[in-house]
Amino acid sequence: MFVRILFLALIFTQCTTSTKTTTNQPAEDSASYMRYIPGAGGGKGILFTVPLKNPSKTLLINRFLINGIEVPAKIEDNLIIASVFYADREPTVENPNPEPMDPVLFNENTFEAVIYYSNDGVNDSLRVTNFTEEKQPLYP
């Protein structure tokens, strides 16, 4: 009986210690965002950038959540870039005065991102809470 208990304890400890965790995060824990309002066409948007510290050709962004809202993201020039645009609604015959779209993220003051990614076949996530605001450049 003692041997069985010892054997089960040995199996249990082997299973719990074999969990693989990644400590080599691919991105920084700080990021930036920029609000923008284009000229013609109306609407408004917000652009998020997270610098990569360990760029890899096998790195894939599975999901990018900002304050719980999923935003499309891509990897470009050693950055994770995610953006959302809130277009003004066009008037129609049925609705000549449409309500403007609620630019949820555009109106937020603080941001927290959770980035779900896979790298070399290993799935992991990264939480980014340190966002700084960049000003929209002025073009002549």
**The pLDDT value given to residue 102:** 85
Take residue 57 and report the two structure tokens written for it.
Answer: 């050709």
Residue 41 confidence (pLDDT): 65
Written as six digits, the tokens of 38 are 């284009």
For the structural domain made of 32-133, what CATH number should be given?
Answer: 2.60.40
CB-based contacts of 99, cutoff 8 Å, min separation 6? 89
| Spatial contact of 80 and 27, defined as CB atoms under 8 Å apart | yes
Query: Smallest Cα–Cα separation from 127: which of 67, 84, 44?
Result: 67
Helix (H), strand (E) at residue 52: none
In tens digits, the chain (140 residues) has pLDDT values of: 444 444 444 444 444 333 334 456 677 677 999 998 877 667 889 999 999 987 788 899 999 999 999 999 999 989 999 999 998 888 889 988 887 778 899 999 999 999 999 988 899 999 999 899 998 776 55
